[in-house]
Structure formats: C-alpha cells, structure tokens
Amino acid sequence: MARILIVDDSQSQLLGLKRIVEKMGHEIITAEDGAAGVEVAKREIPDLILMDVVMPNLNGFQATRTISREAKTSHIPIILVTTKDQETDKVWGMRQGAKAYVTKPINEAELTKVINDLLPK
C-alpha cells in the first residue's frame, strides 16, 4: 500500500480521485491548493502525488516545480491531473518536474496504469 497525496481545490474532483486511489488499495492524504500541497509533501513525504494545475495561491505547475526541486521531496513522482489539455501545457508541466500528465475528465483505467507505472516498486 502506498501513500498518495491528492492536491485539488475542487471537492468533487478530490472525491473522484480518492475513490479511484482507494479502490487501488492506497492510503490518501489531501491538500486543497498548491501551497498546502507543498507543505503536506514536505511533512508527509508521500510515495506519489496527484496534482491539479488550476488552483488558488500556488498553481500546480508552481507547486510541482517547488516539490521536484527540493532535496527532501525531489524523488516523489508527480502526476499532473488537469483540464488543461494543450500540448504546450503538457510540455510545460513535464519541464516543471512532473513524471506524467493526465487530463480531466479522468479515465480511470489510464490513471490506474500511470499510478502503477510510477509507484516505487
């Protein structure tokens, strides 16, 4: 069982992602914006992070960059989960340190595969 941090400011999206991750048998930690996500990641050191992009305070790109460049958290794989579906968004997200990019609405099979591929073995 892995500990997965879900960072999303939408309660409905958070619940949907929790349902998928819990079905996989993993423990959930949540944060409701990018700044809180960075703090929780530093404190809890999760095995993987699902990160929304469009959020108040610190957006997902900024939070991903912060987490992936911090020595204590740089090993944690981050999956950006967002409605931003332009190729330029995906390229930018990967340049910030994300390991994968999944667009909403979520395809459960796709997200499950990406999570399984990125979790430390």
Q: From CA 5, how far away is CA 60, in angstroms rounded?
A: 13
pLDDT greater than 90 at residue 120: no
**Paired strand residues for 100:** 79
Three-state DSSP state, 18: helix
pLDDT digits (tens, 9 = 90+) for 80-118: 999 999 999 999 999 999 999 999 999 999 999 999 999
Three-state DSSP state, 60: helix
29 — pLDDT class (breaks 50, 70, 90):
very high
74 — pLDDT class (breaks 50, 70, 90):
very high
pLDDT greater than 80 at residue 49: yes
What DSSP letter does each residue of 15-36 carry, written as one string? Answer: HHHHHHHHHTT-EEEEESSHHH
pLDDT greater than 80 at residue 121: no
* Residues in Cβ contact with 57 at an 8 Å cutoff, skipping those fewer than 6 apart: 33, 34, 35, 36
Instruction: Kindly state the average pLDDT of the residues 27-37.
Output: 97
Q: Is the dihedral of CA 86, 32, 58, 51 positive or negative?
A: negative
Q: Is the dihedral of CA 119, 91, 29, 108 positive or negative?
A: negative
